[in-house]
Amino acid sequence: MLKKALLIIGAILFLFIGSLFAIPYFFKDQIKAKIIDAINQKVDAKVSFADADLSLFKNFPNANVTIEKLAIINKAPFEGDTLIALGELNLKMSVKELFKGDNEPINIDGINSKNGLINIIFNKDGIGNYDIAIKDDKKEGQDSESKPLALNIQNYKIDNFQFRYFDERSKIKMLIDSLNHEGTGDFAASKLDLDTQSSAKISLDLDKVNYMKNVALNLDAVLGIDLEKNKYTFKENKALINQLPLEFDGFIQLLDAGQEYDLKFKTPTSSFKNFLGVIPATYAANLDNVKTTGDFTVTGFAKGIYSDTTVPKFNVEIASDNASFQYPDLPKSVQNIVIDTKIINQTGILNDTYVNIDKLSFRIDQDVFNAKANIKNITENALVDAMLKGTINLANVTKAYPVKLDKPLSGILKADVTTKFDMQSVEKSQYQNINNAGTMSLSGFKYTDENGKSMNINKAEIVFNPSRVNLKQFSASTGKSDLNVTGVLENFYGYIFKNQNLQGNFNLTSNQIAVDDFMTTTDNKSDSNKSDNKSTSSETKKDTEAMKIPAFLDCTLTAKANTVLYDNLTLKNVSGKLIVKDEKLTMENVKTSIFGGSIGLSGAVSTKGKTPVFNMNLGLNQVDIAQSFTQLDMLKKLAPIAGIVNGKLNSTIELNGNLDAKEFTPDLKTISGDLLGQFISTTLNEKNSTLLTALSSNIKFLDLSKINLNDLKAAITFDNGKVNVKPFNIKYQDIQATIGGTHGFDQSMNYDIKFNVPAKYLGTEANALIAKLSAADAQKLESIPIKAMLTGTFSKPKITTDLKTAATNLTNQLVQQQKQKLVTKGTSALTDLLNKNKKPGDTTKTAVPASKAETQEKAKEEVKAKATDLLNNLFNKKKKPADTAKVK
């Protein structure tokens, strides 16, 4: 009996659980249709979601509808802007809601969502992108009970939301990040108590000036809500701004004209720990065991209407008198702390808000620092009147306050400055309206970054004058480099307060600058999860970061350095002018001594685009060829003559191309331009070149060691990794040669050498042959044109000649000059001429042709054979076994 009962119960459970799985499939399409219908009835925007699923397990015994990747995209005038994006939205409802008819609304009891974005924008016309609700045009008496969804909320929750707000007119930008909020209450009632918990990080910018950045906010509050009056009253509440506790009292009520505020707030205690709580927790550390004396209070109120033209009147007072604090594990304390600050608006007009920092003072050991400031007319043309005076020993900062630094600071900061200005004068660079006075200095400063590179500032001093800021002295060293800078900052306040470019003119002198001292590195850790990773995850590589010229710099630097170390180069007596603007560095009249001569440079480097680009004009004067063409990769690729040519070079080079983003050196594959050079007191080292050795070995009449290249001028152009050498002439004794062609940065080459070889180099037999000619005919054969072709690479050259063509040309000349003699005398004259010049043992017989035509043709062939033999003697030196050159 029991067994039977268990079987029945098991069957029922099985059917119940099976139903829980099966039911969602029957209602899924109905739920989707209800959601789409609800959205279409309410929203004038582009709405999409990936899917909608129904579950009876997630909130059992209630049903749960999950909408994935819901997005609401604005239409005009905010076309394409995202208003809302939700990673996931869950709607909780009673199971019975699933069985309602198509015309019956489904009641939603709870809502939760995560990974969302809410993006509110007001354009210049004051129109908000959130106003996407379809206007209700229904006439009176028309049925309005066919809503697909109805809200009967009991609880709601959002996790990891981001709220963005931007007003183009007021230039207010607010970001609420990492927003978590939940509330519980019966929204079906017209009056309820909503129990809420909230946390977020807030950032606020006004017209490019940042007022808050990632300020942590926590609020646990019970809000009394009157839905009929749209009134929200603070009851039990506890707020934390960073770690500063605040309590609120009063209400906010929504009106047709705006919102009415009647709020008061204060710190629940007067302990000075409240002040430390204002500082972000990352920097304030644990406050539990901090010893404090004195008090710190924040009190204030906001009362009035917030509308398009008014703000509530408010008063915020921040005060402390003769307070101190000391962290338990630190040796020093901060004493005599006085704070007297007020933020006040007495009219309800936003521009009438003013800030008075009447006193801010503290002491560490014997060093006292004081400041005060007054700011008013804040929205139209802010007026600033401020003073700084005092001394801070930077080494004491970490001894009195738990600042987390990888490397300790040191140095003495002194200030005695007064300033009075208005922001409109700053924006318009009307420096005559800015009144500055005083000095600020930093001495004995030392800082070491995470890569171990240190910066030592021996002395830096700034003098504030009425219209400008003078950098009176800046003496520093880092690594192998030393710097001494003086100059003028033209718009210091525009840079500080309005994010304008930093303008100035400076003079730099240095005994030595090592460029590597100013290069930064970044760690690239290997990813052990990648399939192609061959190294362990613990391995770390340090690569140079891509260098960028700062966009905010707009200045001129006149520089002079005795030595500049760059890569493997040592530059001496470097001078010139550097202009930095719009992420571009322009160099004017830059000069340096190097390679036994000097180099002049002008041009520009720009890092504005994704790939850095450059253009340069170089002037090389009396530079040593061997050094320059060995140490400069660019010259080595353009003309691989290092070790081949001794002497000096004068040259002008124009080039442009891309820079390697990390090394900041020219990307040789992209450069193009031209070079014009002149050799001075130069000779060739044939033994240092495989190419020259091959030429010397295969051209009988050529002795390269005797070639003088003095005053030789050559012009080349280069582009896309190819170098084109324009034809130029050289002379060896009485032999003329013209050289031209191309080679690649990969060392491949294709050159032609055109020789005009005097006939005397053909040997005694050739001269005997020519002697038989008339004086006029012999004069025409003074030089023989011969062409050599150089291919292959510089290390493995291939040499070919056009001896066959040259022999044919010589034969034609001889035949043409003897044509009349052959016609009148048959074959005897030319036959005798050739037979007399036969070598001993030459058994070749000269047959007498049967006809005049045959005689001429036969004579021509024999002359051609003899001419070919004579020319081959010029190129028939015995080859060495290792000689890879080819002669054809």
pLDDT (tens digit per residue) in 135-155? 655 444 444 445 555 566 788
DSSP character at residue 659: B
- Claim to verify: residue 416 and residue 487 sit in the same structural domain: yes
Higher local confidence (pLDDT), 723 or 685:
723
DSSP string, 89-157: EEEEE-GGGGGS-TTSPEEEEEEEEEEEEEEEEE-TTS-BTT--BPP--PPTT------SEEEEEEEEE
Asked if 761 and 701 count as a contact pair (C-beta separation under 8 A), the reply is yes
Asked if 196 and 217 count as a contact pair (C-beta separation under 8 A), the reply is no
- 502-514 and 553-566: which strand pairing? parallel
Residue entry with tokens 């209407």: 305
Higher local confidence (pLDDT), 132 or 622:
622
Residue entry with tokens 């504030």: 464
Per-residue confidence (pLDDT) for residue 335, from 0 to 100: 93
- Claim to verify: residue 490 and residue 557 sit in the same structural domain: no
| Cα(726)–Cα(730) distance, integer angstroms | 13
List pLDDT tens digits, range 466-517: 767 899 999 999 888 999 999 998 877 777 777 788 888 999 999 998 887 7
Which candidate, 847, 863, 767, places its Cα nearest to that of 815? Answer: 863
Q: How large a percentage of the chain has pLDDT more than 90?
A: 24
Most confident of 349-358, 427-436, 776-785: 349-358
- Claim to verify: residue 446 and residue 304 sit in the same structural domain: no
Per-residue confidence (pLDDT) for residue 190, from 0 to 100: 81
Asked if 765 and 865 count as a contact pair (C-beta separation under 8 A), the reply is no
750 belongs to a structural domain: no
Most confident of 33-37, 173-177, 694-698, 730-734: 173-177
Per-residue confidence (pLDDT) for residue 109, from 0 to 100: 81
Asked if residue 646 has pLDDT above 60, the reply is yes
Cβ neighbour number for residue 790 with a 10 Å cutoff = 21
Asked if residue 833 has pLDDT above 90, the reply is no
pLDDT class of 337 with cuts at 50, 70, 90: very high
**Structural domain ending residue among the three candidates 664, 684, 704:** 684
Asked if 732 and 709 count as a contact pair (C-beta separation under 8 A), the reply is no
- Claim to verify: residue 356 and residue 257 sit in the same structural domain: yes
pLDDT class of 75 with cuts at 50, 70, 90: confident
535 belongs to a structural domain: no
Q: Which two tokens stand for residue 443?
A: 């001495």
Asked if 364 and 335 count as a contact pair (C-beta separation under 8 A), the reply is yes
Per-residue confidence (pLDDT) for residue 135, from 0 to 100: 62
List pLDDT tens digits, range 546-594: 567 888 888 999 999 999 887 778 889 999 999 989 888 899 999 999 9
Q: Which two tokens stand for residue 207?
A: 């017209």
Q: Which two tokens stand for residue 745?
A: 């940065």
| Cα(582)–Cα(569) distance, integer angstroms | 29
- Claim to verify: residue 560 and residue 488 sit in the same structural domain: no
Asked if 238 and 228 count as a contact pair (C-beta separation under 8 A), the reply is no
Helices (H) and strands (E) in the chain, counts: 14, 40
Per-residue confidence (pLDDT) for residue 6, from 0 to 100: 45
Which candidate, 735, 733, 696, 701, places its Cα nearest to that of 873? Answer: 701
641 belongs to a structural domain: yes
Higher local confidence (pLDDT), 645 or 723:
723
Asked if 445 and 404 count as a contact pair (C-beta separation under 8 A), the reply is no
Per-residue confidence (pLDDT) for residue 602, from 0 to 100: 92
Residue entry with tokens 């101190």: 324
Locate all alpha helices (DSSP H) within 415-459, ordered by sequence. Answer: 423-427
668 belongs to a structural domain: yes
Q: What is the mean pLDDT of the chain?
A: 78
Residue entry with tokens 């000349």: 813
Per the DSSP assignment, residues forming a β-bridge with 121 are 166
- The continuous run of DSSP H or E covering 283 comes out as helix 281-284
pLDDT class of 825 with cuts at 50, 70, 90: very low
234 belongs to a structural domain: no
Asked if 487 and 578 count as a contact pair (C-beta separation under 8 A), the reply is no
List pLDDT tens digits, range 660-719: 777 777 888 888 899 898 888 777 766 666 777 777 666 666 666 667 677 788 888 888
- Claim to verify: residue 375 and residue 412 sit in the same structural domain: no
- Claim to verify: residue 550 and residue 625 sit in the same structural domain: yes
pLDDT class of 390 with cuts at 50, 70, 90: very high
Read off the pTM: 0.63
10 Å CB burial of residue 292 (0-12, 13-18, 19+) is: buried
| Cα(556)–Cα(506) distance, integer angstroms | 6
- Claim to verify: residue 376 and residue 419 sit in the same structural domain: no
- Claim to verify: residue 366 and residue 343 sit in the same structural domain: yes
Asked if residue 882 has pLDDT above 70, the reply is no
- Is 162 in a helix, a strand, or coil? strand
Asked if residue 371 has pLDDT above 90, the reply is yes
Q: For the CA atoms of 265, 271, 272, 275, what is the dihedral angle to 10 degrees?
A: -30
List pLDDT tens digits, range 423-440: 888 777 777 788 889 999
- Claim to verify: residue 468 and residue 338 sit in the same structural domain: no
250 belongs to a structural domain: yes
pLDDT class of 130 with cuts at 50, 70, 90: confident
DSSP character at residue 723: E
Contacts of 139 (CB under 8 A, 6+ apart): none
Contacts of 324 (CB under 8 A, 6+ apart): 272, 292, 293, 294, 333, 334, 335, 336, 337
- Claim to verify: residue 355 and residue 438 sit in the same structural domain: no
- The continuous run of DSSP H or E covering 464 comes out as strand 454-464
Domain count, the chain: 4
- Claim to verify: residue 608 and residue 639 sit in the same structural domain: yes
| Cα(823)–Cα(815) distance, integer angstroms | 11
Contacts of 491 (CB under 8 A, 6+ apart): 426, 429, 431, 500, 501, 502, 503
Maximal CA-CA distance, the chain: 146
615 belongs to a structural domain: yes
Per-residue confidence (pLDDT) for residue 537, from 0 to 100: 38
46 belongs to a structural domain: no
Domain that holds residue 421: 405-497
**Structural domain ending residue among the three candidates 441, 466, 497:** 497
